[in-house]
Amino acid sequence: MNTEKSKAEQLKEELFLTKKHAALRLTEEAVKAADAFCEGYKAFLQEAKTEREVVSCAIALAESQGFLPYDKARQYAPGDKLYLNNRGKSLILAMMGKKSLDEGLRIVAAHIDSPRIDIKPNPLYEDADLALFKTHYYSWLKKYQWTAIPLALHGVIIKKDGESLAVRLGEDAEEPCFVITDLLPHLGQKQGERKLSEGVAGEELNLLVGSRPFRDDKASELVKLNVLRLLNEKYGIIEEDFQSAELELVPAFPVRDVGLDRSLIGGYGHDDRVCAYPGLMALADAGIPEYTALTILADKEEIGSEGNTGMHSSFFRDFVADLALQAGLQAHDVLRRSECLSADVNIAFDPSWPDVMEKRNAACLNQGLVLTKYTGSQGKLFASDASAEFVGKIRRLFNREEVIWQTGELGKVDEGGGGTVAKFIANLDVDVVDAGVPVLSMHSPFEVVSKLDVYMAYRGYRVFLEGK
């Protein structure tokens, strides 16, 4: 039998771009390392379901690795580890590098907010002997996906006397959970005639929180009163305290392995904690980097990176300015020589919904970290578009360090679209390209990712931050 390859076959191997499942490109030991790494990620994802919880968990992990709060008065040396906590909702971690700051920074920037349901400032009311909360959804989501599933209440309440009260209720099996009810199919004929996007209206996302009255026939709203009584006994709060609170509803079900081969992870908040955790661990595990290395965990990306904890604010630029000043430099001189991986997810090709993707340029599960050269929508509107030179540099780095990677777009040209923090970093004169994990069922209460892709994100971020 002739096993020699033809000239055409040899030439195809040399010239064609071929895609291959990461498990077929990795050793058995590397696959086991990926699975082991993802056990830590699963625990993180279960524990940190809000931006505040991510910051708290990240600081605890960072401090265990020797990171200390940033001190403007201190002079830092190579290998020093520091962090800046921005209002408990975004975080910058840094490790000082061997090279001077005037040679720039290496930055991995992820976001830590996810689509969710927020509680309104005056939420509690009673109707038909039921107590309910009014809500306001956060970010792009399919509202119907958030009905008839168990929900947990997370967040913070600032009480009348100024005390800050952390709330996390509904995660443990012995605790009560909450639910947004939906119509039964028998009575849902008119609802079924609505557009899918209008199947559940925003003002119909009302949270069921109780149904038993306070035992007194002389007052009205007794179910509401009983709920407030229980809250007052447990937390010491009154109804006015809701007006100075940030309370979020998140899915109450746990993070799970998916598939008979346990190759996938299902859970809430992969977008974008599936990039935040590898970015955090990449810096924690790095040796002393060549360039000063930063991991940014930013808030508010899902609603445009606005506010003083989002990347559209000045907190990152001011941090760089303070570091530069200590070194006798200007911030713009540091930033223009800096490079960044905008660590944000991309869409994974779903064979059940192929029509919205252009398959040749779609990312797939199990083919590694996704480089997204440009974002935006339609004609690249509102996009960050990385230069060929910088993409080429990252390509060479990943190939040299055997990081499995692919490219991807955000759907077909006239159908897809989206944005990341990349454009805000690019506006500071920093070279930046999006690099993240592909996700199925993005922005749903139960997103799905591949363990091998998560591990490749960690590998890619680490070699980048170490300045290899």
State the pLDDT at residue 417: 82
CA dihedral of residues 392, 393, 397, 400 (deg, nearest 10):
60
State the pLDDT at residue 1: 58
413 shares its domain with 341:
yes
pLDDT one-digit tens code per residue, 399-418: 999 999 999 999 899 887 88
124 shares its domain with 234:
yes
Task: Write the secondary structure of the chain as one string of H (helix), E (strand) and C (coil).
Answer: CCCCCCHHHHHHHHHCCCCCCHHHCCCHHHHHHHHHHHHHHHHHHHHCCCHHHHHHHHHHHHHHCCCEECCCCCCCCCCCEEEEEECCCEEEEEECCCCCHHHCEEEEEEECCCCEEEEEEEEEEEECCEEEEEEEEECCCCHHHHCCCCEEEEEEEECCCCCEEEEEECCCCCCCCEEECCCCHHHCHHHHCCCHHHCCCHHHCCEEEECCCCCCCCCCCHHHHHHHHHHHHHHCCCHHHHHHEEEEEEECCCCEEECCCCCEEEECCHHHHHHHHHHHHHHHHCCCCCCEEEEEEEECHHHCCCCCCECCCCHHHHHHHHHHHHCCCCHHHHHCCCEEEECCCEEECCCCCHHHCCHHHCECCCCCEEEECECEECCCECCCECCHHHHHHHHHHHHHCCCCEEECCCCCCCCCEECCCHHHHHCCCCEEEEEECEEECCCCCCEEEEHHHHHHHHHHHHHHHCCC
Asked whether residue 159 is domain-assigned, the answer is yes
Residue 196's alpha-carbon distances to 145, 189, 203, 297, in angstroms, are: 11, 13, 16, 34
State the pLDDT at residue 377: 84
In whole angstroms, what is the distance from residue 312 CA to residue 425 CA?
9
Asked whether residue 9 is domain-assigned, the answer is no
274 shares its domain with 228:
no
- Global pTM reads 0.95
43 shares its domain with 121:
no
220 shares its domain with 318:
no
Alpha carbon distance, N-terminus to C-terminus of the chain: 46
Asked whether residue 109 is domain-assigned, the answer is yes
> Which long-range CB contacts under 8 A does 67-70 form with residues at least 24 apart?
67/93, 70/94, 70/319
Q: How many domains does the chain have?
A: 2
State the pLDDT at residue 218: 75
Residues of the chain with pLDDT under 50: none
330 shares its domain with 444:
yes
pLDDT one-digit tens code per residue, 105-121: 999 999 999 999 999 99
In whole angstroms, what is the distance from residue 71 CA to residue 93 CA?
13
104 shares its domain with 148:
no
For residue 120, give its domain range.
Answer: 116-251
In whole angstroms, what is the distance from residue 114 CA to residue 344 CA?
12
Asked whether residue 149 is domain-assigned, the answer is yes
142 shares its domain with 101:
no
304 shares its domain with 436:
yes
State the pLDDT at residue 2: 64
State the pLDDT at residue 340: 98
State the pLDDT at residue 416: 76
Which tokens in the block code for residue 37?
């790494």
Apex CA 460: angle with CA 458 and CA 461, to 5°?
A: 65
- The domain that holds 239 is classified in CATH as 2.30.250.10
Residue 92's alpha-carbon distances to 230, 280, 283, 309, 352, in angstroms, are: 39, 10, 11, 11, 39
177 shares its domain with 207:
yes
Q: In b/e form, how buried is each residue of 202-222, taking b as 16+ CB within 10 angstroms?
A: eebbbbebbeebbeeeeeebb
In whole angstroms, what is the distance from residue 272 CA to residue 253 CA?
18
Q: Which of 224, 251, 278 is the last residue of a domain?
A: 251
State the pLDDT at residue 415: 84
